[in-house]
């Protein structure tokens, strides 16, 4: 009988639930975690702006005037540097100066958008297309 009492003792201890079960952090914990992540993002953005050479600001005195895609990885670019315009060839292998422009290029006009009143509405286009297909 003594062996049974010793064997039953650990089983009895295991059957008793723990007094304090771990609980989830709740709404306050989730809000705190969200604030912590947002603070980390803002802190890293501030630090990125403060590092030299890591900014996204364009260089002063340097401006891309025009660009033309010539191939998959090749393009011709007109760059203005200190009042002078240069025609550059840009490839995957490097950048080379092709020509120095004697006169600056005229400023490009913004693309003209069509007037929405002149365009037919979608219902008209759809009905015309359906009549053609039938």
- Whether 134 maps to a domain, the answer reads no
Which DSSP letter does residue 28 get?
Answer: H
- Whether 40 maps to a domain, the answer reads no
Q: Residue 96's closest CA among 68, 71, 67, 75? A: 75
**Cβ(80)–Cβ(65) below 8 Å:** yes
- Tens of pLDDT, residue by residue over 75-122, are 999 999 888 999 999 999 999 999 998 988 887 777 777 776 766 787
- Whether 121 maps to a domain, the answer reads no
- Tens of pLDDT, residue by residue over 14-48, are 555 555 656 667 888 889 999 999 999 999 998 88
Please state the domain count of the chain. Answer: 1
**What number of CA atoms fall less than 13 Å from residue 9's CA on the CB side?**
6
Structure tokens at 11: 């089983």
- Whether 83 maps to a domain, the answer reads yes
Task: Supply the pTM of this predicted model.
Answer: 0.43
What is the domain range of residue 84?
A: 62-101
- Whether 85 maps to a domain, the answer reads yes
- Whether 77 maps to a domain, the answer reads yes
**Cβ(89)–Cβ(74) below 8 Å:** yes
Residue owning tokens 């890293």: 44
- Whether 128 maps to a domain, the answer reads no
- Whether 78 maps to a domain, the answer reads yes
Residue owning tokens 């709740």: 26
């Amino acid at each position: 009988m003594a062996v049974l009492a010793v064997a039953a003792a650990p089983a009895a201890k295991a059957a008793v639930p723990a007094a304090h079960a771990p609980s989830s952090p709740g709404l306050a914990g989730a809000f705190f975690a969200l604030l912590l992540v947002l603070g980390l993002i803002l802190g890293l953005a501030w630090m990125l702006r403060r590092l030299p050479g890591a900014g996204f600001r364009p260089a002063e005195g340097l401006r891309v005037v025009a660009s033309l895609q010539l191939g998959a990885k090749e393009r011709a670019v007109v760059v203005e540097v200190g009042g002078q315009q240069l025609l550059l060839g840009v490839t995957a292998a490097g950048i080379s100066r092709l020509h120095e422009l004697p006169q600056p290029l005229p400023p490009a006009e913004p693309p003209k958008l069509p007037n929405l009143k002149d365009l037919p509405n979608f219902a008209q286009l759809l009905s015309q297309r359906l009549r053609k297909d039938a």
